A and B are shown apart, each in its own frame.
Chain A
């Protein structure tokens, strides 16, 4: 066995004592230094415990007591203490060995990079990123300006009338006319939703996301969010799936498998299904509420509150405990335009390939449903629910769309709001309920695959009544408060 190397940087005395005590207890042969094994045990490493339990018999209990006592004395998980120790020791060592060019030592990049990880001014910086990245770029520009242009100039003013008249004049059968054009046609509804409403919003979100990703901001956000996420049973690592959820919850549910424990994965899946709007929903909601700042704030506040509340309760109910994490922090840098564009295009391509067939299929299903009378039946079944939360019957199909795909429902909501069918109060209730309401079919199928049918079904059975209950409560509260937005 190799002798333990001389200690470069002694650990805190409490740890040294614990290491020495554990080393003196370990009697078997191991493929690594007893010191190293003792340190792994202190860090609560499952593999190390397994190894020791198999060989040390009753002495394991003594080791466990030492680890527990040490942890109690230091008041934090010991893997934190250890990793911090190594980082500090590495920094001290490197300070003597590395000499940086003078100007780089205090570059603006380093300073900004450090700022983003502290609550002050990290939180205001996050606010700026959200305001410009999400609100201005995705909401105001994408869902507002670009969608307006494509909707009213390209489709409404030009393509739809042209297709409608072409179809009506050249095709004699009404059923085929309705499949292709008119109110719910493949072109006039399916293609229009996909190209004119969803594509600009999602495209701009992916552009912003790629920019943020390549700048090195996300791992910093993970560190910043870590302390807040602890309260909802997650740690900073969950930032990446949750932020990606603002793009597409289906994609994000797949990514949630990078989380460490089953508890974290279930909580992340639940929160993605419940309280993280996808970029299409987000863009549409930002666009229709942008003229009503109070409603927008209320919507964001309510959804955030529900996210924290449900996460907090889930962390209490589900077995397991939140754990620490370690993440590589790359330097902040200017994203390279070529890389950002390539990434954005790849994601848009993935999305279009995924979404376009689905939109066309949904249009066809709706057409078939209308032809057979099933669609009106489903709408009629949902109508009492929409009426109960104070929304007009025209919202019922939107909820039905939303079940096919989140973004499809969002596009329907946009259509309805643009037509002036909703008051400000109704928009708030509709936006909130639609955000919470069901993961779409695509997301549900991924949940089934990743989490198993028991968890997936449990989540959906919770969300469906919960979303409408929240809508109902919000509607009532707004009535009682006499608030018009």
Chain B
């Protein structure tokens, strides 16, 4: 099948028009980490999940996706670490897989991980993610490197402008991870509350 002379991307599973909602899948909400390569996504993944990890090829591809579990405020989350993603208009197979996980695997909450030093460049994907309407927390990682270089970041202003939670971390050293977990927990509580109201 093709449109305007282009072949359809390898991912053509029809998600069936489902809408993400917390706890909608076997009781376990799903947390997806996205971001460009080398921003410490895997370090954050490890910090959240501990050691329980399964790495598997994404169906039909050679791209690896790591899955693990994290217990945050009494709730067990499925945590997925995606391959590097530069923009929502994917070019490589890795990017296609990352976007597929993001858009069609029904994540409940997305953590966009960026590196503090390169915030200017990486915010471009944050803006694109905001457009999708998926629930988002921005994680500004490797904060210590930026501080060492004398770069100062006004994260509360950023949070105010973006309208989504912004958390600064040093995932490799564990700094900020507790605050991140608290933000995830409070997002989950309010999302659940809203669902009950709607339901």
Contact = CB atoms under 8 A, between A and B. Distances in A.
B120 A90 contact: yes
Interface string B177-195: 0000000000000000000
A29 B17 contact: yes
The 3 tightest CB contacts between A and B, nearest first, are: A33-B133, A101-B150, A90-B123
Interface of A: 1-6, 8-9, 28-33, 35-36, 39-40, 43-47, 49-51, 53-55, 79, 82-83, 86-87, 89-91, 93-101, 104, 237, 258, 260-261, 319-321, 325-329
Given A47-B9, A258-B92, 6 more contacts: A4-B133, A50-B3, A79-B89, A91-B120, A104-B151, A321-B5
Nearest to A45: B89
A125 B88 CA distance: 33
A98 B12 CA distance: 40
Contact of B5 (A5, A31, A94, A319): A319
A156 B121 CA distance: 56
A329 B121 contact: yes
Contacts of A49: 3-4, 8
B119 A36 contact: no
A46 B7 contact: yes
Contact of A90 (B18, B103, B127): B127
Interface in B1-27: 1, 3-9, 11-12, 14-15, 17-20
A262 to B, nearest CB: 8
Interface stretch (B46-54, B66-74, B75-83, B154-162): B154-162
B132 A32 contact: yes
B134 interface: yes
Contacts of B87: 83, 86, 326
B89 A5 contact: no
Contacts of A327: 86
Size category, B interface: 35 or more
B144 to A, nearest CB: 15
A90 B126 contact: yes
B162 A44 contact: no
Given A28-B17, A94-B123, A328-B36, A46 B6 contact: yes
Contacts of A5: 130-131, 133, 163-164
A86 B135 CA distance: 19
Nearest to A54: B14
B158 to A, nearest CB: 5
A90 B8 CA distance: 30
Given A31-B18, A96-B157, A86 B124 contact: yes
A40 B121 contact: no
Contacts of A50: 1, 3, 8-9, 12
Given A90-B120, A101-B150, A96 B89 contact: no
A474 to B, nearest CB: 38
A366 B153 CA distance: 67
Given A96-B161, A97-B119, A97-B157, A31 B89 contact: no
Contacts of A3: 133
A43 B88 CA distance: 10
